Structure 1
Amino acid sequence: MAVRFERIIAIVLDSVGIGELPDAARYGDQGSDTLGNIARQVPLHLPTLRHLGLDRLVPALGVAVGAPAGAWGRMAEASAGKDSVTGHWEMAGIVLDRAFPTFPQGFPPAVMDAFTRGIGRPALGNVVASGTEIIARLGEEHMRTGAPIVYTSADSVFQIAAHEDVVPVAELYRYCEVAFDIVGRGMGVGRVIARPFVGSPGAFRRTANRHDYALTPPVDTLLDLMTAAGHPVVAVGKIKDLFAGRGIARHLPTASDDEGMDRIDEAMRDVPRGLIWANLVDFDALYGHRNDVDGYARNLERFDARLADLLPHLRESDLLVVTADHGNDPTTPSTDHSREYVPLLATGARVAPGVSLGTRQTFADLGQTMAANFGVGPLAHGTSFLDALVPASA
Structure 2
Amino acid sequence: MQQINRVILLVLDSVGIGFSEDAIDFDDLGANTLGHIADAVGLQVPNMERLGLGNIAPLKGIRPTENPQGAFGMAKEQSKGKDSTTGHWEIAGQILDEPFPVYPNGFPKEIISEFEAKCERKTLGNKVASGTAIIQELGEEHVHSGNLIVYTSADSVFQIAAHEEVVPIKELYRYCQIARDMLKVGRVIARPFVGEKGDYTRTANRRDFSLEPGENILSKLHEAGQEVISVGKIYDLFAGKAISQYKKTASNDEGVKETLAFIKEESKGLIFINLVDFDTLYGHRRDVLGYKNALERFDQQLPDLMAALKDDDLLIITADHGNDPIFKGTDHTREHVPILVAGKKVKPIDLGLRHSFQDIGATVEEILLGNSIKGSFAQQILK
Calculate the TM-score normalised by the size of structure 2: 0.95
Partner AA of 1:108 in structure 2: P
Matched, 1:365 2:364: no
Matches within 5 A, 1:1-394: 4-62=3-61, 63-183=63-183, 188-217=184-213, 219-353=214-348, 355-375=349-369, 377=371, 382-391=374-383
Q: In 2, distance between residues paired with 1:165 and 1:66?
A: 59
TM-score (norm 1): 0.92
**Which letter does structure 1 place at the counterpart of 2:298?**
F
In 1, the alpha carbon distance for the partners of 2:103 and 2:361 equals: 30
Query: Number of matched residues?
Result: 382
For the aligned residue pairs, the C-alpha RMSD in angstroms reads 1.8
Question: How far apart are the structure 1 equivalents of 2:316 and 2:179?
Answer: 35
| Superimposed CA distance per residue, residues 26-54 of structure 1 (whole angstroms, 9 cap, x where no aligned partner) | 11222211111111111222111111111
Q: After TM superposition, give the deviation of residue 144 of structure 1 in Å.
A: 2.7
Question: Which digits, 9 at most, give the CA deviation of each residue in 1:34-91, with x for residues without a partner?
Answer: 1111111112221111111112234234232442110000010011000111111111
Asked whether the 8 Å contact 2:322–2:337 carries over to 1, the reply is yes
Contact 2:77 2:87 in 1 (8 A): yes
Letter in 1 for 2:304: D
How far apart are 1:274 and its partner, in Å? Answer: 0.9
SS in 2 for 1:338: coil
Distance 2:89 2:328 in 1: 28
Counterpart of 2:104 in 1: which secondary structure? Answer: coil
| Amino-acid identity (%) | 51
Bigger drift between 36-45 and 275-284 goes to 36-45
Q: 1:336 to 1:204 in 2, by over 3 A?
A: farther
How far off is 1:229 after superposition?
0.6
Of residues 261-270 and 369-378 in structure 1, the stretch that sits farther from structure 2 once superposed is 369-378
SS for the counterpart of 2:159 is: strand
Give the deviation of 1:3 after TM superposition: 7.0
- Report deviation, 1:104: 2.1
8 Å CA contact 1:150, 1:161 repeated in 2:
yes
Cα displacement string for residues 321-346 of structure 1 (whole angstroms, at most 9, x for unaligned residues): 11010111111231111111111000
Matched residue type, 2:337: V
Asked if the contact 1:3/1:373 (under 8 Å) is kept, the reply is no
Secondary structure, counterpart of 1:343 in structure 2: strand
**Distance in 1 of aligned mates of 2:204 and 2:279:** 14
The answer to whether the 8 A contact 1:225-1:376 is kept is no
Residues in 1 aligned to 2:158 and 2:105: alpha-carbon distance in whole angstroms: 13
**Unaligned stretches of 5+ residues in structure 1:** none
Does the 8 A contact of 1:102 with 1:154 survive in 2? yes
Task: Quickly say closer, same or farther: Cα 1:3–1:252, change in 2 above 3 A.
Answer: farther
In structure 1, how many angstroms separate the alpha carbons of the residues matched to 2:228 and 2:311? 20
Going from structure 1 to structure 2, the CA distance change for 1:114 and 1:3 (only over 3 Å counts) comes to farther
- Which range is displaced more, 316-325 or 102-111? 102-111
Mapped to 2, the partners of 1:325 and 1:231 lie a distance apart of: 24
| Cα distance in 2 between the residues matched to 1:366 and 1:129 | 33
Deviation at 1:351, TM superposition (A): 0.3
Write the distance in 2 (CA, Å) between the matches of 1:253 and 1:285.
15
Q: Distance in 2 between matches of 1:31 and 1:171?
A: 44
Distance 1:351 1:53 in 2: 13
- 2:2/2:345 contact within 8 Å kept: no
Instruction: Give the secondary-structure state (helix, strand or coil) at the position aligned to 2:359.
Output: helix
The AA in structure 1 aligned to 2:357 is F
| Distance apart, 1:268 and its partner CA | 1.1
